[in-house]
Amino acid sequence: MDNFRIVQTLCRIGLGSAGPAFRFQVERLAQALRTDGDKKDAAALEALLRSEDPAHSLKPSKVVPSVASSFSGEALGSRVLPPVDKETGAPLAEIHYPPEKPDPPVLADELASAVARVIEEWAHVDQLTAIGAAPPRTCMLFGKPGTGKTKLAYYIGDRLGIPIVLARLDGLISSFLGTTARNIGALFQFANRYQCLLLLDEFDALAKLRDDPQEVGEIKRVVNTLLQNIDKRAAHGFTMAITNHEALLDPAVWRRFEVRIVVPAPEYAERRKILELYLQPLPVDSAALAFLAWLSQGLTGSDLESMARSIKRFTTIHGRGDFALMEALRAYALTNATAQRTEVLDLLLASPQEIARRILSEPDLGLTQHDVGKLLGKDQATISRWLRNDLTAADKAVIHAE
């Protein structure tokens, strides 16, 4: 390609500052160069796209050397059983052991930086402890349901190389408040005995506002017991908590956590990367990914996973080329009527003409009439005719109004 170095420089500048439409066009250029046999220049652009990927994910780099030696207690081996409720025999927790190579989550830049900082501080635990600034012993993850908080907590524990003791606090609650307090005590006694990360899910189940007039005094004492155990555990190991309802938490709870990280719903770039991962091994091109990422605005990571599974099921059974994607999306919209709805997702139930008009009215998407035609199973001439008909109808309406 003539003057490729200039084009490459322009692409690098644009990828660093422009939006998804620019990135999509660079992807199209790389694909066109490869189709034309210019593999060297195509590879250069593809490498540039990878290096400037806005869907920042934590690098699956070397796992931090295990920090277990920084915790008091025994090593938590695979033969150790979790604590149980003495009355029912039900386990109070699950034990998760870190894999050799943790899979990095797809995170926005700010969230990735926050998580990387926690991991980095624990990687330097000896130096920080020596100057009286030990890494944080408590961390709270909060945000909407389905945003991947539990998966993120698992990833942090896996990177630190320590087992995770996962307790869902709603499962600790008993109709007998004395039993609830005893379960909390048994859980913390177990976690403090072993070198582990204690992960408290559904944290708001117990840590409610203690001045709630509808709560009885005994419940408040149970909450106090929980907070006291969190304080005592700081001398033994690392504790993380997860909640979907941070507004319910007692202000005293927030003070117990040195690190507080909000986990938001994914933005466009992260949605695109998440969908690309979840849709594998389906062959989904850049135009389809751009459309899906735009279409799914407002959805959480859990919603995206559900959407991807629905598309894969439909395409596997009814796949008929590129058009199967739109049919699969319509089926998803029809069978998820009670899920979170968005204006864009409801568009799937509109006519093909309306879908085409709406997509092409979004300049940030950067899709062409050819791209839209491929998505809808139509040729470019049909899409162009639909747009001309829309313009003609609009002109007639203006003349009629005059």
What local confidence, expressed as pLDDT, does residue 402 receive?
39
What local confidence, expressed as pLDDT, does residue 395 receive?
42
On the question of pLDDT at 130 being above 60, the answer is yes
What local confidence, expressed as pLDDT, does residue 398 receive?
35
At a CB cut-off of 8 Å and minimum separation 6, what does 379 contact? 373
Q: Are 19 and 364 in contact (CB under 8 A)?
A: yes
Q: Are 267 and 301 in contact (CB under 8 A)?
A: no
On the question of pLDDT at 263 being above 80, the answer is yes
On the question of pLDDT at 154 being above 80, the answer is yes
3-class state of residue 142 by DSSP: strand
Instruction: For residue 140, list its beta bridge partners.
Output: 241, 260
Chain position carrying tokens 């295990």 = 66
> What is the CA 229 to chain-centroid distance, rounded?
30
pLDDT digits (tens, 9 = 90+) for 166-180: 999 887 876 566 788
**What amino acid occupies position 211?**
D
Measured distance CA(198)–CA(196) in Å, rounded: 6
**Measured on CA atoms in the order 244, 249, 254, 257, is the torsion positive or negative?**
negative
Residue 154 tokens, joined: 């698992």
On the question of pLDDT at 61 being above 60, the answer is no
Measured distance CA(280)–CA(290) in Å, rounded: 16
**Measured on CA atoms in the order 35, 36, 39, 40, is the torsion positive or negative?**
negative
In this prediction, residue 1 has a pLDDT band, given cuts at 50, 70 and 90, of: low
pLDDT digits (tens, 9 = 90+) for 362-392: 888 889 999 999 888 889 999 999 888 876 5
What local confidence, expressed as pLDDT, does residue 13 receive?
75
Measured distance CA(277)–CA(151) in Å, rounded: 15
What local confidence, expressed as pLDDT, does residue 245 receive?
87
Measured distance CA(174)–CA(159) in Å, rounded: 34
What local confidence, expressed as pLDDT, does residue 95 receive?
95
On the question of pLDDT at 394 being above 60, the answer is no
On the question of pLDDT at 67 being above 50, the answer is yes
On the question of pLDDT at 400 being above 50, the answer is no
Give φ, ψ of 164 to 5 degrees. Answer: -115, 130
Average pLDDT, stretch 9-19? Answer: 72
User: Kind and range of the H or E element at 165?
Assistant: strand 164-168
Residue 304 tokens, joined: 């995206």
CATH topology of domain 68-262: Rossmann fold (3.40.50)
Question: Which one is predicted more confidently, 45 or 155?
Answer: 155
Question: Beta strand 94-96 with 164-168: parallel, antiparallel or unpaired?
Answer: antiparallel
Q: Are 269 and 20 in contact (CB under 8 A)?
A: yes
Ordered by start, the domain boundaries in the chain are 1-52, 68-262, 266-401
Average pLDDT in the chain: 83
Listing DSSP states for 221-268 in one string gives HHHHHHHHHHHHHTTT-EEEEEES-GGGB-HHHHHT-SEEEE-PPP-H
Residue 393 tokens, joined: 């109808």
**Measured on CA atoms in the order 65, 66, 71, 74, is the torsion positive or negative?**
negative
Chain position carrying tokens 């307790």 = 167
pLDDT digits (tens, 9 = 90+) for 314-356: 988 887 655 688 889 988 888 876 555 566 677 888 888 998 9
What local confidence, expressed as pLDDT, does residue 32 receive?
83
- Residue 192: CB atoms within 10 Å: 18
Average pLDDT, stretch 254-262? Answer: 92
Q: Are 344 and 365 in contact (CB under 8 A)?
A: no
Question: Which one is predicted more confidently, 17 or 399?
Answer: 17
User: Kind and range of the H or E element at 199?
Assistant: strand 197-201
Q: What is the 3-state secondary structure (H, E, C) of 26-77?
A: HHHHHHHHHHCCCHHHHHHHHHHHHHCCCCCECCCCCCCCCCHHHCCCEECC
Q: Are 92 and 85 in contact (CB under 8 A)?
A: yes
On the question of pLDDT at 65 being above 90, the answer is no
pLDDT digits (tens, 9 = 90+) for 135-146: 999 999 999 999
